[in-house]
Amino acid sequence: MQKINFNELMKKEIESLESKPSLLLHSCCGPCSTGCLERLIPHFDVTLFFYNPNIDPIEEYELRIQAQKDVVEKIPQFKNVKLIIPQNDLKSEEFYPRLDFIKAINLQDFPERKTEKECGSRCLECYGFRLKKTLEFAIENKFDYWCTTLTLGPQKDALKINTIGDRIFDDFSRQNPEMILPKFLHADFKKEGGYLRSIQLCKEYGIYRQHYCGCVFGREAAQASCD
């Protein structure tokens, strides 16, 4: 199977632009958004979409919300980037416990997902859950493009993430053949030193960097591997 260079696909798409289209960028966290924004904002009118109801516990979620806010407030080149945080009432039962996330990963049929390490089937379902919500918001608000920061992480598989994005886009296209959908921007933001750049920016501007991906199952698996 031929390897796909998603970084080159993104660069070719950017080269084809004749204007500066709007782009809804799903942000998995503030630190990852830094390395992605730096590459995107010269070419797109970017809005960040922080949708991550997988994050546990609530105190960690609040830390990451603040980190995302710090990115757009503290880093000068990102000051014009808009930020959308769809969960407003953090203490509500609709958000905590994270019922939508638990439903999405389907522990009832796949109980083994509770103990999977990062990047297993639980994570793939979580990616799809968040990317689907991103496309829905992009459609509702008439964005030209949509994308995700997930590929910046060194443990995140760009092929799997981009394949999920393509599948979600294709599903919406089949269900709504008359609708013009926002275009999915393929990317692999870890390329060209993206991850290292995110570390540099976080260090320079004092942005909080988390120590695990997000959900309670990933946190427990990470702790077990360190014991």
Domains of the chain, earliest start first: 22-226 (3.40.50.620)
User: Could you report the per-residue pLDDT of 61-72, keeping only the tens digit for each?
Assistant: 899 999 999 999
User: Could you report the per-residue pLDDT of 204-219, keeping only the tens digit for each?
Assistant: 999 999 988 888 887 8
* C-alpha 141 chain-centroid distance: 18
Predicted confidence at residue 222, as pLDDT, reads 66
Which residue type occupies 68? Q
User: Could you report the per-residue pLDDT of 115-155, keeping only the tens digit for each?
Assistant: 888 778 999 999 999 999 999 999 999 999 999 999 999 98
Q: Which of 39, 44, 38 is nearest to 71 (CA)?
A: 38
Cβ(215)–Cβ(38) below 8 Å: no
Predicted confidence at residue 223, as pLDDT, reads 64
- What whole-number percentage of the chain has pLDDT above 70? 91
The order of strands in the sheet holding 22-26 is: 82-84, 45-49, 22-26, 145-148, 183-184
